[in-house]
């Protein structure tokens, strides 16, 4: 196994699980992929992300996120192809999560009655979505890929994990609920093995199940 994606909405526990996996997986070369924000040319520090999202046209945000994830997957593809033994790469957010997030940014703006919201936004990001899906398929053809999906049915079950500032931000909370709805219904890559984990379970339970499944 070479690439493990950890999917889930904000607050589901992706970063915690990835750090635990990195500490517990025995492999000659385990590493965590660079974060998605580092592939966004306008972001040089993660603290800039929230301000960029709220001050930028949602269509640009969605396209930038999809493009960044495509570049990240292409980079991972280049790093694992032809390497023996292949490094094991842990990736915070797979294609499923990023596509759901991009769609949520567009839909949240439209639902809020934004005067600039365009019904064709989802169609306009279609080519970027297609490029990302194609990159994910190329990677899964070149090496074994697994998706660990931290699932939750209602955001109320994990909302307490967010900061009080985030919980009080109505626009962000609206986005989160749309993100979850999109994440629950989006098409999963057919060529990636997937394990669903309960995001509300104790982290050690998720880790134990993930380690058994990824051996």
| pLDDT tens digits, one per residue of 109-148 | 765 555 454 557 788 899 999 999 999 999 999 898 999 9
pLDDT computed for residue 112 by the predictor: 52
Rounded-to-integer distance, Cα 117 and Cα 97, Å: 22
Rounded-to-integer distance, Cα 210 and Cα 215, Å: 9
Going edge to edge, which strands form the sheet with 145-151?
A: 30-32, 88-92, 3-7, 145-151, 193-198
Residue-range domains of the chain with CATH: 3-214 (3.40.50.300)
| Entry pTM | 0.92
Residues of the chain with pLDDT under 50: 115, 117
Name the β-bridge partners of 150: 197
Rounded-to-integer distance, Cα 149 and Cα 94, Å: 9
pLDDT computed for residue 82 by the predictor: 76
pLDDT computed for residue 113 by the predictor: 52
Question: Where would I find the beta strands (DSSP E) of the chain?
Answer: 3-7, 30-32, 88-92, 145-151, 193-198
197: closest CA among 1, 14, 4? Answer: 14
pLDDT computed for residue 115 by the predictor: 44
Residues 146 and 192: beta-carbon distance below 8 Å: yes
């Amino acid at each position: 196994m070479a690439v493990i994606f950890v999917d889930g909405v904000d607050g589901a526990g992706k970063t915690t699980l990835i750090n635990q996996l990195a500490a517990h997986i025995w492999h000659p070369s385990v590493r965590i992929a660079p974060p998605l924000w580092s592939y966004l040319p306008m972001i040089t520090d993660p603290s800039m992300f929230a301000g960029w999202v709220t001050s930028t046209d949602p269509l640009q945000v969605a396209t930038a996120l999809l493009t960044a994830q495509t570049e990240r997957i292409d980079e991972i593809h280049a790093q694992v192809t032809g390497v023996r033994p292949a490094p094991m790469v842990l990736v915070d957010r797979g294609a499923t999560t990023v596509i759901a997030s991009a769609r949520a940014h567009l839909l949240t703006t439209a639902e809020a009655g934004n005067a600039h919201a365009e019904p064709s936004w989802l169609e306009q990001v279609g080519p970027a979505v297609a490029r990302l899906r194609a990159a994910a398929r190329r990677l899964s053809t070149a090496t074994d890929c697994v998706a660990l999906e931290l699932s939750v049915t209602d955001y109320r079950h994990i909302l307490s994990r967010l900061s009080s500032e985030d919980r009080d931000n109505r626009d962000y909370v609206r986005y989160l609920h749309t993100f979850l709805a999109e994440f629950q219904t989006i098409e999963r890559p057919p060529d990636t093995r997937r394990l669903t984990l309960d995001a509300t379970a104790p982290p050690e339970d998720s880790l134990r199940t993930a380690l058994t499944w990824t051996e």
